[in-house]
Amino acid sequence: MGLRRRDFVKAGLAAGATALAGSGAIRGTPLPAPAPPATSGKPVRPVAICSANGLAAVERAMERLRAGEDTLDAAIAGVNLVEDDPEDITVGYGGLPNERGVVQLDSSVMHGPSRNAGAVASLENIRHPSRVAQVVMKRTDHVLLVGPGALEFARLHGFKEENLLTEKSRKIFLYWKETLSGKDDWFTSAEELEDPDLRKYIRTYGTINLNVVDTAGDLSGVTTTSGLFFKIPGRVGDSPIIGAGLYVDNDTGACGATGRGEAVILTCGSHSVVTRMAGGESPEQACLGALQKIVDWSQAPALLDADGRPNFNVKFYAVNKRGEYGSAAIWSNSRYAVHDGSEARLRDCAYLFKRA
């Protein structure tokens, strides 16, 4: 008979306790005292913080928190609005496809109170990868499912399959493909060449990350994306990687990322921000510190501008257990959305470098 997760966790705890008791008895080393709680027990000001494409998402997440919903359910309800929005070409339905014209979505969720997470990568045909990630967390002993396995899992759990490529994203994709090279057989029309709506989509990244804290100081977060525009099929960014595009520690805080995923993966970005907050930094200081590491680690000439600075952007969005929040980007003129219990608004991110 298979072991259910609950039994598995219990069995693991029992084994761990035996091992600890054994080693303590032999060496006579007392176990460390538990860390003091990070809040004073007073109600925390609830906060929802998100990338700038999530102004409506923080509004919805805050409504759900006020209704007493679980922090992760509230966060996911917020980003579902953007996964559903065909006008946001960086997330869910209407997201830009890979280099073969296929939309492949990445998402992760992390639930502070249960210290658990779930994620999916390269998932096709399902518009709410964040919800599938939550089912991976709740209904399996795994954290990350990818590609056809993730799709099969979603189907088995009743998710509806659909074509995620909208007319808008199909046209942007085709324009990219047809203008990629003068050495192939793909031509574009004169009208399309002049169309400013098609010309403006350079190859870049987009994502939504949303993190919340409720009045009890419980935290959760979610990140969901269609990833790098026109990516190599199967390319997975930071969004579904726990510790990179998202990290939540219910004793400390939550953080997520948007922007160049490879840089965030290489530096374990969101984990690094949460670790800095645990060390006493404010959310904004912690985001800036983790971004500085990305700058220090970006050495390939293809990633640098004429002044030796990254030619890409990364943004972090962080909130701590006391309801303090902050966001920072490598480059100025970056914004984020926040609802701090009074209203939803867009604010400027702190930054390392000012754009000319």
Residues that bind ligand GLY (CB under 6 A): 205, 207, 225, 227-228, 237-239, 245, 258-261
Q: How far is the CB of 237 from ligand GLY (least distance, A)?
A: 2
Per-residue b or e along 264-286, where b marks 16 or more CB atoms closer than 10 Å to that residue's CB: bbebbbbbbbbbbbbeebebbbb
Phi, psi of 216, deg, nearest 5: -85, -5
* DSSP state for residue 91 in the 8-state scheme: S
Give the residue with the Cβ less far from ligand GLY, 47 or 91.
91
Residue (44 or 164) nearer to ligand GLY, CB: 164
Q: Which residues are catalytic?
A: 207
Between 240 and 289, name the residue whose CB sits nearer to ligand GLY. Answer: 240
Closest approach, Cβ 260 to ligand GLY, in A, equals: 6
Amino acid identity, residue 267?
T
Rg of the chain, C-alpha, whole Å:
21
Query: What residues contact 11, with CB distance under 8 A and at least 6 apart?
Result: 3
Min dist CB 314 to ligand GLY, Å, is 8
How far is 26 from 232, CA to CA, in rounded Å?
Answer: 55
CB closer to ligand GLY, 94 vs 217: 94
Q: Which residues pair with 329 in a beta bridge?
A: 315, 351
Q: What is the 3-state secondary structure (H, E, C) of 218-278?
A: CEEEEEEECCCCCCCCCCCCCCCCECCCEEEECCCEEEEEEECHHHHHHCCHHHHHHHHHH
Q: Toward ligand GLY, which CB reaches closer, 61 or 264?
A: 264
Q: How far is the CB of 83 from ligand GLY (least distance, A)?
A: 14
Q: How far is the CB of 61 from ligand GLY (least distance, A)?
A: 20
| Burial zone of 97 (CB within 10 Å; 0-12 exposed, 13-18 middle, 19+ buried) | buried
Tell the smallest beta-carbon distance from residue 98 to ligand GLY (Å): 11
Q: Helices marked H in the chain — which ranges?
A: 5-27, 55-66, 71-84, 129-139, 147-156, 167-178, 190-194, 196-199, 261-266, 269-278, 283-297
CA 252 to chain centroid: 18
Tokens of 90: 């960086």
**Residue among 207 and 285 whose Cβ is closer to ligand GLY:** 207
